[in-house]
Chain A
Amino acid sequence: MNNLIVEEASFIDGKRKYLICSNHKGRQLIQPILEKLLEKNYSFDFVFIGFDSSPEQLQNNLKTWLQNQKMGSYLYLALSKEELKNLRPIIEDVGFFEDEVQYVGYGEMNSKVFCCRCHSLTELKNLEIGKEVQCQNCHLLLSVSDHYSVHYDAYLGNIAKL
């Protein structure tokens, strides 16, 4: 998921409609996109998530809204990285994939590293490719590769020192 989340939104031109969903903090991240859409007079829907939304409410409402959209739409989601991570399966279940959605995130996110020796997963905050981490199960020192597994939702950790 780390490789899909950006901290700065980039404008994708040529879509028939834009869908924007953010909370208060994410609003700042998405502001340049809103300005661009207004400047170009493009069609867009903006859904603002208030403080009182429970995760279940958010997921259900988001799903209903997105299921009614047509092909050619482009989605910007500007939320905390943890929220984005939890929402991604729902977004993909509706049918928005990498080239139809931009995950714009803030804050920290827990990531996992897959140990090449014992196959256990080690959780860590703010993962960096190339960084060395110790496997929490077999204690092998691992170098975090950029090889990401959707199945494990984890990055492959190779032996750091031979």
Chain B
Amino acid sequence: MGVNGLIENTILVRVNEIKQITQQVKEFSFIPIDEFNLPTFSGGSHINTYVAAENEIICRPYSLVHHSLIDNTYKIVIHFSSESKGGSKYWHERMKVGDRLRISYPKNHFPLSGRAKHHVFYAAGIGITPFLSMMKELKSKNKSFELHYTSATKSSCAFYDFLNEFYREETTFYFTKELNSSRIKVETLLDHSIGTHVYFCGPNRFITQFNESAYAFGYPKSSVHIEVFTPQLLAYSRPFEVKLANGTTKQVPVDKTLLDVLLDEGLKVPYSCRVGRCGTCEVNVIDGQIEHHDFLLDEDQRKSNKMILTCVSRAKSNQIILEI
């Protein structure tokens, strides 16, 4: 347990610069409060940010887009979401230069493959962010890569000028609301030579479409990488009951995850990514049928019906009994 009751160790930082990148996108720079060197990180890493709002601590993961060893800063980029439950709304409307917050140490659930012969990034909208550090890393190592990036218009396309300046050869843009612009298509996946690894980041719908197409085209799982920052929305979610080892029962309503309910109950259950990627929140299941929505467990583990990733998965049966 970290300081201030947070589940992980954190670094106290101050916002030292805010830049408007596009109408909907802002870039935030942090420097540490104490004399402390911010750790370096690998391409694709992110941090959890902990912002103290009135009655709650808003925790959100954001990709690290930049790290400067010279002025000891980190940068993140945030897209304002009209559906924001507090995260991007707070950052865009209330965060000011000089404000303090806590951030986690960098973590990477979306690393570059070490054995790819060629890397291909597919980004939609703000999904560009993890690829900025990944491309920088690959460029510095003289590795082969390309970027396919779709956005509504040039003016809403974050880092359009930057990419044109530094990654012109590697980048193909697709604008959905510009005349004479081609559209990004899953069929592009058919063009990649053997040894290619593909990476998808963007809205869930975009990721699902490309992910499913890659498998349909015969890509092995190990060559396909996805970055998800928000849990998949489940239109068909239903409530269920969770029974704990001490006999307590709790309801899990449709708008809450099993993890939320366990945390509300005061249980010190570990978790990290909250999107079914890292496995930190895995809990053993004693009884009940599981509806898996994670990206981690393999077919055999799912069929065993013995474990659940509480951050995204739910119960198929009316009740599930957990070993906690």
Contacts and interface: CB of A to CB of B under 8 A. Distances in A.
Contact of B196 (A14, A95, A99): A95
Given A71-B189, A71-B223, A96 B218 contact: no
A97 B198 CA distance: 15
B69 to A, nearest CB: 32
Contacts of B217: 16, 71-72
Interface residues of B, number: 21
Contacts of B219: 71-72
A17 interface: yes
Q: Which 3 A-B pairs have the closest CB atoms?
A: A95-B195, A72-B218, A15-B218
Contacts of A73: 194, 218
Contact of A69 (B189, B194, B198): B194
A71 B222 contact: no
B193 A95 contact: yes
A94 interface: yes
A15 B220 CA distance: 9
B190 interface: yes
Question: Quick one: which of B190, B194, B217, B222 has the most chain A CB within 10 A?
Answer: B194
Given A16-B217, A71-B217, A95 B194 contact: yes
A72 B190 contact: yes
Interface residues of A, number: 21
Interface of B: 115-117, 189-196, 198, 215-223
14 contacts: A14-B218, A16-B217, A66-B194, A69-B193, A71-B189, A71-B223, A72-B190, A73-B194, A94-B117, A94-B194, A95-B193, A95-B195, A97-B115, A97-B220
Given A14-B218, A99-B220, A100-B220, A70 B115 contact: no
A97 B194 CA distance: 10
Contacts of B193: 67-71, 95
Contacts of A97: 115, 220, 222
